[in-house]
Every structure is written in structure tokens, then in C-alpha cells.
Amino acid sequence: MRRVDDYLLRELAPAVIGVLVRRGVDFAAAEDAVQEALIEAYSSWPDRRPADLKGWLVTVAWRKFLDSHRSDAARRAREERVELEPAPGETESADDTLQLFFLCAHPSLSASSAVALTLRALGGLTTKQIAQAYLVPEATMAQRISRAKRTVSGVRFREPGSLDTVLRVLYLVFNEGYSGDVDLSAEAIRLTREVAATTDDEEVSGLLALMLLHHARRSARTHPDGTIVPLAEQDRRLWDTALIAEGVRVLQRALARDRLGEYQAQAAIAALHADASHVDETDWAQIVEWYDELLDITKSPVVQLNRAIAVGEADGPAAGLRALSEVDPTIPRLTAASAYLNERGGNLAAAAQLYAEAALSAPTLAERHHLTREAARVRHRSP
């Protein structure tokens, strides 16, 4: 029964919610009706599993919705217009699932609310699981999801949503990594595969490729005690070559369409790192070229910072520091980048001081510990 539960929650439920919302049911009521249908499925399917699982769920969820609103006169009038629910078998297309992605990433939602709603409605995660993943109390997450539902309750599928916003939300989920009992990176990859299956867009493929290539290095990114392992020091034998190969294939198909976007450019950089069996074999010159493309697309100071580091590897630390001097000094991690390039250039005293300064403003505890150790290591090397 566990396998059926996972299939229901992670594959069927979002599509059924999408069908109800397209028919005019507000989001909160649609999710409630689908949850009621799932409960009924849990009790009846072990004995008599229907041939058309989605059709059965659509039928039952629609009845649940109608039953819960029969006392309302306006709803009754609507029921009379709709009359009976469609017979199981021919249900709405996969486009309903894509529209549900659009709804959960609606521009009226904050980033945190869009992420929570996406994981709840499309990921099939419980409120408790999402709260644990984001290290907040369950009550806080429940309120966040409830507010998000109310915000989108009046939205109707009249116009296409923003695919860019959906991709940004999925990338936010991916970057949370693993927390609690939920692997959010894996969940983001699964959901991005769903979007890729419902739309023909090269940037969706670019994001999927980027996630796969980054996820392939996951087991090498930290020591057993949780401390960070920089890319240059990672044991590349631990990288998942199957994920790398898939990511490269997905990326190549996207790039062949010659409509370059932000995620494709990022994935191309990740692919070049993955292609090097040793750090010394990294094609830094080509990486700089891809950063040039990415900077032209995004105008992002964070990209400009990363490009400066790549320039330092391709053309020497002095060139990297010159490029870094053009970056907005308020950008996070600039001090750490300066420390690294100064160390590469042999200026160990300055590097140690900069590592220590960077540790004080590190955004995470793991980075703070890493930069503190780097400062101590470089001080030990100083004459």
C-alpha cells in the first residue's frame, strides 16, 4: 500500500487539483476535495482498484466538492449548470498540472509562500514535513500555507502563468538541499521533470540539467562531520556519473535550439566542471566565456563575482583581483573571493585577514566554520 500512497500523493493529486481549479473551484476547496478523495481511495483501492486512477479521483473529488457546497444557493445554481460530473476515463490534459505550477508560483505570493504552496500541492508533502525542512514550527508553516491558499483562491486559469516564476521557485526549493526527513533537492528535480514533461521550453531543460549536474556532486561536497569540501578539493570519484551524463544530454538538446537563457548558461558552466577528471584539467578559459554570456543575460553582480574568480583561474590571480575590483563591494562572499585570490597570488597575510573577515559575515554556520579554518590554515603557512 505504501507504493500506492506515494503514487497518489506525488503523481495524481496535483493533476486532479488542477482539473478542479480549471472548472472554477477555488484552490483551497479543490485541495480539500482532493484530500477527501484520497482518503476514500486509501480505504477502497486495496479491494477494488479502478482502471483509470486519475478519472476515479476526479470523479470522487468533484462529488466531494459538490456535496460540501449543496447548502449554498449560488453553488446550487452552478451545480445545475454543470449538472453531472464527467464520466471517468477522459479527464483534462497534462496542461492542468502546468497551470497548477503557475498558480502555486503566482506573482502575488512571496517567495517563501510560493515554495511552501508548491511543496504542499505539487510535492504532496505534509505541512509538518515542509516545516521541518525549513526549520520553522509546524503552526507557522500551516499559517503560511493557509495565507497562500487564500491569496490565490480567486485566481482563474484565463491566461498562461509565468514559467520564469515557476522555475525560480523550483530553484529555490533545490538550493535548500536536505533537511529534516525531506530531500528538497531531489524533490525539486522531480517537480522540474514534471514541468519539462508538460512544456517544450529550453530554459526548463536548462534548469533540469543544472540541477542534475549540481546534484551529481552532492556526496563529495561535505566531510562526514558536515564541514564543507571546496570544489577543487572534492573527491571526483564520488560524483554520480549517471546524473552527469543525463545532465549533459539534457543540456545539449536545449543548447541545440540556439535560444540561450540563464539556466542553460549556468548548466554549461557546471558541465565544464563535471567534465574535468581533476581540477587541473578544468577549462577555465571556456568557463570565463560562459560567464560572459551569463553576465550579458542577467547583469547580476553575483555572476560578475563568480566570473572574477574564473578569470583568476584562467589568467592568474592578479587578473582576477582586477576583475573583482569592479564588483559591487556590498555583494556577499566578495571578501571570501578576495581572500582566495590573494592566497593564490602569494599574499598570505592579506588572505588570512580577509578569510577571518569573511567568516564574520558568512551567511551559514557551515561557511563560517569553513572560512575560519581557512584563515587558520593560511596563517599557519605565513612566514
What is the model's pLDDT at position 89? 43
Q: Can you spell out the DSSP letters for 184-221?
A: HHHHHHHHHHHHHHH---HHHHHHHHHHHHHHTTGGGS
At 311-324, the pLDDT tens digits run: 999 999 999 999 99
Residues contacting residue 270 through CB under 8 Å, at least 6 positions apart: 209, 210, 213, 214, 247
| Residue corresponding to grid cell 504552496 | 117
CA 129, CA 114: separation in Å to the nearest integer?
16
Is residue 213 scored above 90 in pLDDT? yes
pLDDT band for position 91 (cuts 50, 70, 90): very low
At 271-303, the pLDDT tens digits run: 999 999 999 999 999 999 999 999 999 999 999
What is the model's pLDDT at position 178? 60
CA 98, CA 357: separation in Å to the nearest integer?
45
* Residue 222, helix vs strand vs coil: strand
User: Residue type for 134, please?
Assistant: Y
How far lies 62's CA from each of 127, 307, 344, in Å?
24, 53, 64
CA 246, CA 244: separation in Å to the nearest integer?
5
How far lies 159's CA from each of 92, 191, 262, in Å?
17, 22, 25
Is residue 208 scored above 70 in pLDDT? yes
CA 312, CA 305: separation in Å to the nearest integer?
11
Where are the extended beta strands (E) located within 170-316?
Answer: 178-179, 182-183
pLDDT band for position 55 (cuts 50, 70, 90): confident
* Residue 162, helix vs strand vs coil: coil
CA 64, CA 155: separation in Å to the nearest integer?
21
Cα 273 to chain centroid distance, Å, stands at 21
138 CB neighbour count, 10 Å cutoff: 14
CA 17, CA 50: separation in Å to the nearest integer?
19
Among 58-62, 129-133, 217-221, 346-350, where is mean pLDDT lowest?
129-133
Among 106-110, 151-155, 373-377, where is mean pLDDT lowest?
151-155
Cell numbers given for 105 = 508560483
What sign has the CA pseudo-torsion 95, 97, 101, 106?
positive
pLDDT band for position 82 (cuts 50, 70, 90): very low
Backbone angles phi, psi at 279, to 5 degrees: -55, -35
Closest by Cα among 132, 19, 3 to 65: 19
β partners of residue 178: 183
The domain limits of the chain are: 1-92, 93-197, 332-383
β partners of residue 228: 222
Q: Can you spell out the DSSP letters for 294-342?
A: HHHHH--HHHHHHHHHHHHHHH-HHHHHHHHTTS-TTSTTHHHHHHHHH
pTM: 0.82
